[in-house]
Amino acid sequence: MHLLSDRAILVTGSTRGIGLAIARELLAAGARVGVHGRDEAKVRAACAALDPGGARTLACAADFADPEQAKAAVQRFVAAAGRIDGLVNCAGGGEAKAFRALTLEGWRATFRLNLEAALLATREAYVEMRKQGRGAIVNIASLAAHGPGRWMGADYAASKAGLVSLTQSLALEAARLKIRVNAVSPGMVETDMTAVLTPEKKAAIGIPLGRFAEPQEIATVARFLLADESSYITGQVLHVDGGLWSRI
């Protein structure tokens, strides 16, 4: 299927894990894709692996620990692609940390990466999408955004809750301009972050569907929200968590 054959889409945090799977899914759907990561060599390696001919990927290296670089990354993508039809805010990170171990600087660093960089990337993309009269933005939030953040630190959970709120606020403002804004809240996903968990620890989480998600299962939902298949969906948060939300 080539549901996105006329679209240029930037995926932040796309050299590994969920972001890499999303970039792969969008390429398969026909899109031209911006691949982003902190390390330029890793970005170029991901582009080469995803698109050996190099015709449909654009390398966008930037360290979102400095949120201003997110704005610059979008600007570079637009300059290279000539437009931006979609943005996926997937860049982020965090640690499983007890509340007593939190520091103000650590809190701010998590917010810079998970929320402020997404804000600036989104604002820059939104400006371009307004000119075009259409666009779609997908924010990769987390199950932690909707509860006590049992498996991550309070800073991570709060930053992802902010991303959900940003999604809903912008969706209301942007709808009249035919720009849709939605979020995906994954639960437990088979990535390098969760690879350290033993089968026993995974089972103890109690996911109703009995397993962790594959990154591809998050990617197909992101692709759906970017494509015209979801043309009447905005301001929504789709939980892709194997039913785990119902048990929190």
Burial of 240 per CB tally in 10 Å (0-12, 13-18, 19+): buried
Rounded to whole angstroms, how far apart are CA atoms 78 and 204? 45
Residue 5 CA to its chain's centroid (Å): 21
* Count of helix runs (H) and strand runs (E) in the chain: 8, 7
* 156 a catalytic residue: yes
Instruction: Please identify which of the residues 64, 126, 156, 224 carries the catalytic annotation.
Output: 156
Question: CB-based contacts of 112: which residues, under 8 Å, 6+ apart?
Answer: 64, 65, 66, 67
Which pairs from 163-168 meet CB under 8 Å and 24+ separation? Answer: 163/89, 163/114, 163/115, 163/118, 163/139, 164/139, 164/237, 166/115, 166/118, 166/119, 166/122, 166/139, 167/137, 167/139, 167/141, 167/235, 167/237, 168/235, 168/237
Q: Please give the helix or strand (H or E) that residue 35 lies within, else none.
A: strand 32-37
- Note whether 10 and 125 are within 8 A (CB): yes
Residue type, 231: S
So which residues are the catalytic ones?
156
